[in-house]
Structure 1
């Protein structure tokens, strides 16, 4: 039979004269109607069609005709909205707004308490209208007669026996018993006296009993018989007393639907909920005074997250959008809007909400901006990449420099939900520029959150600048006076360990972490130890994979022939001799060891090895020009052995010389000799003075073939550095260097000049050659 019904309905739906297309069949229990989802052919809008097959239900045809008639004439927000009615010889169709049977939700127990109260309030208010204003009796109030619309509102249907009590020939008197499953739902007085008993009792009695059954079904899921009416299982305690009076056996004592609503709306009553108050006020939001609007906005904050999303999407959202944009609703209204937003279909979100969000980001109201930033994690995924990158982020950037700290802080936090929607150019350009500013913010919380933000978006940064930016940011955070900023820096380094190369870990990160090991706060010290262990483990692991040495092996043909001789000691400790720089081969150490310098007279000539160059004879000093003074030459660290004191000194006399030598190294040797750099070699100074008069020097120490390294080093040092300004020396007496070569020209000894060169000094020669000695 069901197959035959569907076939007939489909045949009619395919007819060219039928303006609707039938879709899926919706199962309806306890009803003479078959419900189908449908669409209007003209515009494709959704609707529902109740179908009654005359041939198979002739006995109930009066009920169907009554339902059609009452549906056309009864208009109320709590009643199913009828779009059209069609009657043919074989079928009757009632076209309504798209609805779903409430019994579906009842059987699945998917209704929460807040929504259940809200729905019962709407049904009770509708019955109040039917019993009072319409002077009618519904006669079949139950879960199967209630439907939910696309907006989630509960709508009353099932008008098969709906009758006006002013009509003596009302359908309910004659055909009331033909209602589906009437035995379970009929009130006790009707069971005893028939439907004519309605005339002898209050008009509201039958529907009040049916409302009590609906309350039980909503909170318990199933109703089996009259003995369950009045039971308070799972029913909210605040509703117990009124619910029991609805279903009492004496019809004269039953509470009417109007009184049930009145008791629920009392202060502290069961219908005093934020959702119900919002429903009552939403339609007149634009007409409310400032005080009433403020009260309404406070109600929005009281809404829980389990509100009926369809109602907010279809009814509340349009009104709230108009209020926040044009009515001064403010952040409270916006918060309610953004609670609804994630539950919207994507197409509806793009159509209704995206343009509003873009416009609101341009609003100068800081409260609106903070509210938008707070909810970006909720709506960020629904916004397209183009919208975020081209329209929203350019508006967000003003928050990084806002005068209000809360705006700056929320802007930094809002980077995370939108960073995946930003282009690489925007991230590595504008975003890093603004984060560099907030990293130096005067508010410690903003500095801390910036460090956390950089740690979380590290993977989004460009590979070319990622390591450089993060090292600079995190090491700066380690020096922050705010303890939580330092802790955030350590945690960020731990989280981004894989971002850094092993070289950066060893040379940049580890040196920055070490001071935190002695931080005044134990929290920082503990975290520093953990972070240090992580980086050390990685560096050590990489170090184990490296080669033992980068030098070529001794047997390699590419090995240099003059490689330094490794020490002959077998001592492998730190005190063992590591390398000798004086000779390359053991075979070169030939000849006899000569006596010490103290046993050789200055006048004696000592035979030197052929491999050692003769010491250059010093020239006599040139006469000083008028007004010039001669600065004493600083003692060079690498003096020759012949100039050193004899080893017969006492320990007390030599102890101070050790520290003097370390000090001399610190003062004179900076590790970089500009004279040795071919790109920085200064031109040879023009010296016209006569060479200095040679001075007698003691015979140098003869090592029998071992080079006088210290003496040679001293000679080289003197040859490289020109005399201080003001001293006239011979042009050829000093070693000169060509600007394009590193080779030293051999100094020549010239006879003393008889005249002093009075030619002005070349303007290109730099001043201050002797300043280093001052």
Structure 2
């Protein structure tokens, strides 16, 4: 083989240029030609090369030259397509389309009956053209003269003795017997009298007989001679009658190949088959009417896998693509395209289908766009990421904003198919931008599908923005009036919990889901309960991994606030009360000394008094508390403003507050003296742990007031300034009323520190000592203990009108 290639190359070098390269040699039946696979140097396309060595077969040179001449002048779809020919003194080369000898398929018996009939139909049309239109005789019909193209079509060659009957010096009459292996296929009348006898018979007789032999050989695999002519073994029954007339011993009684073709094309005859109809219709698909095109596509869609794949790939597919793109084939033609394209190799798909798909996605026809999106799963694996991301996706996104809802919905559904072919930048940028629009679409179904889409592509989103995007989208959908949109959001949240932190679950997701626990639809309520449970489990798991406390460890020498021993928790209410009383008791135990009474409202007395005087009943608890905070205290007392354990619980008034008073008939009236909902809320705020901690800070106004009072007291230059309580509700009056009820006239004495002041009127809201000054308190200033006198303010018991901008009655400023 190497020697032969080198010899051919040497011969080419001596002759005219031949722009084709020789490849492997192809086996042939006995022939004057040697067949090679070849390639075109210019573009690397495949071809076949017939080579004739003049020096080795000089006697057959007239046959080779006749073949070259007829192949170049005979133009018909069923004839081998010639690309180029070269003739020199030593060789003749014919470059043709890539061919495969039909003998290969016959030997392997790879031809289905339908494919065999389709091939014979094509050859019959070609022979009819030669006999009728060209007025010629082929004279060399046999399996060795037939080839299959890349499209699977049968192409007729073997033109060595093809002659025009009007030419008296035709090659067939002189050299017909020189054709290799011609004896097996020669008609009986020519075998007896020579090829000149063809002039005395119809010129179609020779080709009719040889075509009959070809039919037998195709269906049976071999033809040994004239004794097999006319046998019906393997031949389809519908063909028997016409086949026998082709091989009649009398040349004048034989039907022509053209007549045989007409008989086969009759309704329900042997050439009336779907595959043959396809080959006839596909070439004229572009000029068919809409009804004819629909009927043709229906027949095409019903074809089975028994038909030649190469034909569909090379002939049908290009015609269908042209029909879809330019000829109005529409979605139905495209569905057939995808059925055929599924059998293509990746290289063939990239070459033949991908360029057309890119152009089709740019087509503004909505029907084409929807059809493309419907078939996207069939083609996505064949398309490269670069093609999808750079060329197809920019065309697809126009569907997100189309006015037709069906286009928007199909575009949205295609995201699940496209997502694996898109870059991270495209997903987290342009795609999310369009999904945000469909999440607000006027169509509830599109909004619902957007939520479902986000849930399914969550794993493809960027980790830096995924939680933010999903929470925003899903929580918004939870408020959608469309029930299925809410349900889709709950389902999406249930399956994407792994992407959210414990803090997001507790602070953002559960508060958004919880209203749906009482949704009007049972479907939503049930799903909301399931979703809540998913996130509760996640929160429990996150909480279990957290430390018991975030506070720094206590140091004995730090002088920080004393902490109470946790009490057994019996119920939520009792646990709260037990904690407050325990802390209060611990703080009270640290207090020492007695409250010092005031003598004339000056700072001249520092000796402890045996009894403390109770503040007027009209004084409110709030003013007492603020007075305690503002008034300086002895340096040894833990209630000093500078002490780390500040609070109001260590005062006598606080002791009375935490006591359990007896229920009286007018208790409700007394609570009504306070602003409803505001003073009460501030009261509970006052009892929170923060009020008992070391971080208690006086308001700026009060601090400055206390500082000024201390300065004046220490210097002895003036009396203490009166304290303005801001006319807060008379809570102290209520305390006094409770004390009076516990100590009626002639009854038990009041607790220490709550004795009724002299001159009291006996009413809960008034007192004769309202204008008297409170007892002095000791304060340590500059290392010297002095006394500060505090003057009480007369309380106006009338209800005070409050503006809209001060609904809390001043409680907020005090705390």
TM-score bracket for this pair, using the shorter chain length: 0.5 to 0.7
1:93 aligns with 2:93: yes
Q: What corresponds to 2:265 in structure 1?
A: 265
Q: How does 1:552-631 map to 2 (within 5 A)?
A: 562-567=562-567, 580=579, 582-583=581-582, 617=615, 620=618
Counterpart CA distance in 2 for 1:80 and 1:333 is 30
Assess, with a 3 A threshold, how the Cα gap between structure 1 residues 580 and 137 changes in structure 2: closer, same or farther. Answer: same
1:750 equivalent in alignment to 2:747: no
Please say if residues 142 and 210 of structure 1, whose CA atoms lie closer than 8 Å, have aligned partners that are also in contact: yes
**CA deviation profile, 1:247-272 (whole Å, cap 9, x unmatched):** 67776665543234323433455545
Matched-pair contact (CA < 8 Å) for 1:201–1:251: yes
8 Å Cα contact 1:483/1:524 also seen in 2: no
* Alpha-carbon distance in structure 1 between the residues aligned to 2:220 and 2:697: 94
Corresponding residue of 2:367: 367
Structure 1 segment 113-152 matched on structure 2, within 5 A? 116-152=116-152
CA distance, structure 2, for counterparts of residue 109 and residue 517 of structure 1: 73
Give 1:604's aligned residue. none
Cα separation, 2, equivalents of 1:510 and 1:220: 78
Q: Which residue of 2 aligns with 1:768?
A: 807
Paired position in structure 2 for 1:627: none
Query: Do the aligned partners of 1:20 and 1:38 also contact (CA within 8 Å) in 2?
Result: no
Deviation of residue 58 (structure 1)?
A: 5.2
Q: Are 2:659 and 1:642 aligned?
A: yes
Report the alpha carbon displacement of residue 35 of structure 1 after superposing the two structures with TM: 1.4
SS of aligned partner of 2:300: coil
Superposition pairs of residues 33-52 of structure 1, within 5 angstroms? 33-40=33-40, 46-52=46-52
Question: 8 Å contact 2:338–2:375 — kept in the other structure?
Answer: yes
Aligned to 1:72: 72
Tell me the alpha carbon deviations over residues 442-468 of structure 1, each in whole angstroms, 9 at most, x when there is no partner.
555544543443344223222223234
- CA distance in 1 between counterparts of 2:299 and 2:697 reads 77
**Structure 1 residue aligned with 2:462:** 462
Q: Is the 8 A contact 1:690 1:753 kept in 2?
A: no
Partner of 1:726: none
Q: Which stretch shows the higher mean deviation, 176-185 or 76-85?
A: 176-185
Of 289, 293, 297, 1:296 maps to: 293
Aligned to 1:23: 22
Q: Which residue of 2 aligns with 1:438?
A: 438
Aligned to 2:79, the other structure's residue is in SS state coil
Name the residue aligned to 2:81. 81
Counterpart-to-counterpart distance in 2, 1:221 and 1:615: 132
Return closer, same or farther for 1:400/1:513 CA change in 2, 3 Å cut-off: farther
Cα deviation digits, residues 28-68 of structure 1 (max 9, x gap): 22142221233455676653210123454456555434423
Identify the residue that residue 607 of structure 1 maps to in structure 2.
none
Kindly indicate whether the alpha-carbon contact (under 8 Å) linking 2:380 and 2:418 is maintained by their aligned counterparts in 1: yes
Secondary structure of the structure 2 residue equivalent to 1:303 = helix
Does structure 2 retain, via aligned residues, the 8 Å contact 1:494–1:534?
A: yes
Q: What TM-score, normalized to structure 2?
A: 0.63
Q: CA deviation at 1:471?
A: 4.8
Q: RCO higher in 1 or 2 (8 Å CA, sep ≥ 6)?
A: 2
* Whole-angstrom distance in 1 between the partners of 2:230 and 2:500: 72
Partner of 1:712: none
How many residue pairs get aligned? The number is 672
Distance change in 2, residues 1:247/1:379 (3 Å): farther
Indicate the larger mover: 298-307 or 510-519: 510-519
1:114 and 1:481 map into 2 onto residues whose CA distance is 60
Structure 1 residue 88 displacement after superposition: 3.7
DSSP 3-state at the match of 2:24: strand
- Aligned-partner Cα distance in 1 for 2:244–2:517: 71
Deviation at 1:161, TM superposition (A): 3.6
Asked if 1:154 is matched to 2:174, the reply is: no
Alignment of 1:305-704 (within 5 A): 330-332=330-332, 360-380=360-380, 388-389=388-389, 392-439=392-439, 441=441, 443=443, 445-471=445-471, 473=473, 496=496, 498-501=498-501, 512=513, 546=545, 549=548, 562-567=562-567, 580=579, 582-583=581-582, 617=615, 620=618, 640-645=657-662, 695=733, 696=736
Relative to structure 1, is the Cα distance of residues 45 and 136 closer, same or farther in structure 2, using a 3 angstrom cutoff?
same
Question: Structure 2: any 5+ residue segments left out of the alignment?
Answer: 591-611, 621-654, 669-675, 703-723, 743-769, 775-787
Residues 318 and 57 of structure 1: is their aligned pair in 2 closer, same or farther, counting only changes over 3 Å? same
The 1:454–1:193 alpha-carbon spacing in structure 2 relative to 1, beyond 3 Å, is farther
Give the C-alpha shift of residue 126 in structure 1: 0.4
The superposition leaves residues 189-212 of structure 1 with CA deviations (integer Å, 9 ceiling, x where unpaired) of 777887677567654454445445
Mapped contact 1:147–1:157 kept (Cα < 8 A): yes
Cα distance change of structure 1 residues 553 and 170 upon mapping to structure 2, 3 Å threshold: same
Provide, for residues 148-196 of structure 1, a one-character-per-residue CA deviation record: whole Å limited to 9, x for no partner.
3345443211223434445566555665565455566566777788767
1:720 is aligned to none
- Separation in 1, partners of 2:215, 2:683: 92
- Aligned equivalents of 1:232, 1:679: Cα separation in 2: 113
Q: 1:585 to 1:356 in 2, by over 3 A?
A: same
Over 3 Å counting, the alpha-carbon distance change for 1:345 and 1:690 in structure 2 is: closer
- Cα distance 1:548–1:643, how it changes in 2: closer, same or farther (>3 A)? closer
**RMSD of equivalent CA atoms:** 6.2
Whether the 8 Å CA contact 2:281–2:296 is kept in 1: the answer is no
Deviation per CA, 1:5-31: give whole Å up to 9, x if none. Answer: 444223223457332343212412214
Q: Distance in 1 between matches of 2:354 and 2:499?
A: 36
TM (norm. structure 1) is 0.65
Q: Deviations over 1:687-724 (max 9, x none)?
A: 6769979753556999xxxxxxxxxxxxxxxxxxxxxx
Once the two structures are superposed, residues 659-682 of structure 1 have per-residue CA deviations (whole angstroms, 9 ceiling, x without a partner) of xxxxx9999669996998999999
Q: For the structure 1 residues 521 and 95, does the alpha-carbon distance in structure 2 shift closer, same or farther, using more than 3 Å as the test? A: farther
* Equivalent position SS for 1:464: coil
**Aligned partner of residue 120 in structure 2, secondary structure:** helix
Distance 1:446 1:73 in 2: 63
Cross-structure match for 2:632: none
Aligned with 2:49: secondary structure? strand
Do the aligned partners of residues 693 and 355 (structure 1) sit closer, same or farther apart at CA in structure 2, a change above 3 Å counting?
closer
What CA distance in whole angstroms lies between the structure 2 residues aligned with 1:145 and 1:28?
Answer: 13
Deviation at 1:130, TM superposition (A): 1.5
In structure 2, what is the Cα distance between the partners aligned to 1:311 and 1:63?
Answer: 32
Distance change in 2, residues 1:36/1:690 (3 Å) = closer
Task: Decide whether the 8 Å contact of 1:691 with 1:750 is kept in 2.
Answer: no
- Partner residue in 1 for 2:751: none
The DSSP-based 3-state class of the residue aligned with 2:71 is helix
Contact 1:565 1:581 in 2 (8 A): no
User: Kindly tell me: are residues 213 and 501 of structure 1, through their superposed partners in 2, closer, same or farther at Cα, counting changes over 3 Å?
Assistant: farther
Describe the superposition over 1:506-536 as per-residue Cα deviations: whole angstroms up to 9, x where unpaired.
Answer: 87778959979999899997x9999899888
Task: Give 5+ residue unaligned stretches, structure 1.
Answer: 592-613, 623-637, 650-655, 657-663, 703-728, 734-746
